[in-house]
Amino acid sequence: MNYIRFFFCGLRKNIIGAILVVTLMCANISGISAKASTEENDKETIVKEVNGAEMQLSCKSCVLMEASTGTVIYDKAKDERLSPASITKIMTLLLIFDEIEKGNITMDEEVVTSAYAKSMGGSQVFLEEGEKQSVETLIKCIVVASGNDACVAMAEHIAGSEGEFVTRMNEKAKELGMLNTNFEDCCGLTDSDNHYTSAYDVAIMSRELITKYPEIHNYSTIWMENITHVTRKGESEFGLANTNKLLKQYPYANGLKTGSTSKAKYCVAATAKKDNIDLIAVVMAAQDYKVRFKEAESLLKYGYSVCKLYKDENSDLIKYIKVKGGVSEKVRIMPKAIFSYVSTNEENFDNVKKNVIFNKKMVAPLNKGDTIGKIEYYIGDKHIGNVDIITCEKIEKASYFNTLKKLFIKYLL
């Protein structure tokens, strides 16, 4: 009996020991599995958090856009027409830089302040009637300090009057496909119901500004700077302080423009650059200034957590292609643009394939900029975009004399 009792006692200890070992192993595996699961689901959690309710996005409307492609990564009521306040000035800045590019004005050109420009209320840099400032200084006043007086001074300098300048703003909005926008002034001070835009349209004009004129960031990243007023009263210093507090709050922020009125509440068009990806986060009608920056930052963080950008400069594309019937037998070619594609679902860019397709008939005459083919891009069977191939030069049609000359050179020399 003692032997039997001893046997069962030992057996029971072994069973208990085995159970403990199995339990510990399961716990360990469970812990490893939970850790792996947590790591794998980190991004999924961030994606879920971007839901308006879970992220507690209290703003009335917002858009997150990747700048090089115009891809909308996230939005909330993106097409709702709202009062934009001073983010109106993004369009004003775009037209200013357009005029500089055309050679109609220069950065060091002097602008004279009118009595009307001086009379602007709201945010201002206190320009005096008759005061002269350079175009570049007024750009700083608009971008950094959101000066309404500086805006109107520039509008009058470019178009003769604010009204004519606003007409140009609306024409540009139509050109860019801003379907839910109408401007009535150049600075956003008005409370008119007929002065409106949408978060998506703000993203469109912001994208145009930062991609066409990236030098805007030389001004939108200024935190503080002094300007000098020179008037009949003498000289005085005035400090510009950036209204975009996101510059100190988020390390990758580099712009762009804030706005607030009692009607518009608090708005921001925030830009950032990280890992060569430019994002635009537009927040409209936030309840207070802290909320607009917090929600813009949340959108930017989300964007960088899910975005992956593929770019191809097509440096391997042939430089020339044969032309029939031209004064030259070949034409220099190039891709019209750098190809960009944004993925938010972890696609493998190693699987990108491209097909180069040229027009069947390459016959002169050809003008510079003519489209003569395209490059198609695929990931597996998924078509992700195209880039046109264009001519870099003009090729005239060969005359009878040109043809005879070619034959002479070919066969007699």
| pLDDT, tens digit, 9 for 90 and up, residues 24-48 | 444 443 443 433 333 334 344 344 4
Spatial separation of the C-alpha atoms in residues 330 and 395, rounded to whole Å: 9
Query: Which residues sit opposite 133 in a β-bridge?
Result: 111
pLDDT interval class at 176 (50, 70, 90): very high
Rg (CA), the chain: 31
Spatial separation of the C-alpha atoms in residues 157 and 134, rounded to whole Å: 11
Q: Which residues are catalytic?
A: 86, 89, 146
Residue with tokens 């008759």: 130
Q: What integer is the mean pLDDT of 77-87?
A: 97
Residue type (1 letter), 122? G
**Structure confidence at residue 29 (pLDDT):** 38
Q: What integer is the mean pLDDT of 321-340?
A: 91
Q: What integer is the mean pLDDT of 168-192?
A: 98
| pLDDT, tens digit, 9 for 90 and up, residues 247-271 | 999 999 999 999 999 999 999 999 9
**Structure confidence at residue 152 (pLDDT):** 98
pLDDT interval class at 318 (50, 70, 90): confident
Has this prediction a pTM greater than 0.85? no
Bigger pLDDT: 182 vs 31 = 182
Bigger pLDDT: 18 vs 80 = 80
pLDDT interval class at 320 (50, 70, 90): very high
Neighbours of 60 (CB within 10 A): 18
**Structure confidence at residue 145 (pLDDT):** 97
**Structure confidence at residue 52 (pLDDT):** 42
**Structure confidence at residue 408 (pLDDT):** 58
Question: And the tokens for 258?
Answer: 């804030």
Q: Which residues contact 110 (CB under 8 A, 6 or more apart)?
A: 132, 133, 134
**Structure confidence at residue 56 (pLDDT):** 72
Max CA separation in the chain (angstroms): 125
Spell out a b/e string for 290-309, using b for 16 or more CB atoms within 10 Å of the CB, else e: ebbbbbbbbbbbbbeebbeb
pLDDT interval class at 373 (50, 70, 90): very high
Percent of the chain with pLDDT over 70: 83
8-state DSSP, 119: T
pLDDT interval class at 407 (50, 70, 90): low
Phi-psi region of 39 (alpha: psi -120 to 50; beta: other; left: phi over 0): alpha
**Structure confidence at residue 26 (pLDDT):** 42
| pLDDT, tens digit, 9 for 90 and up, residues 127-153 | 999 999 999 999 999 999 999 999 999
Q: Which of 228, 387, 395 is nearest to 324 (CA)?
A: 395
Spatial separation of the C-alpha atoms in residues 71 and 269, rounded to whole Å: 16
pLDDT, the chain, mean = 87
209 pLDDT more than 60: yes
Residue with tokens 């922020």: 253
Q: Give the domains, in start order, of the chain with CATH numbers.
A: 57-306 (3.40.710.10), 320-412 (2.60.410.10)
Neighbours of 178 (CB within 10 A): 22
pLDDT interval class at 94 (50, 70, 90): very high
E strands, 91-179, in order: 110-112, 132-134
**Structure confidence at residue 222 (pLDDT):** 98
Burial class for 149, CB neighbours closer than 10 Å (0-12, 13-18, 19+)? buried
**Structure confidence at residue 47 (pLDDT):** 42
**Structure confidence at residue 402 (pLDDT):** 60
66-70, 224-228, 321-325: which has the minimum mean pLDDT? 321-325
Bigger pLDDT: 53 vs 298 = 298
**Structure confidence at residue 403 (pLDDT):** 59
Question: And the tokens for 364?
Answer: 């002169």
Residue type (1 letter), 298? S
7 pLDDT more than 70: no
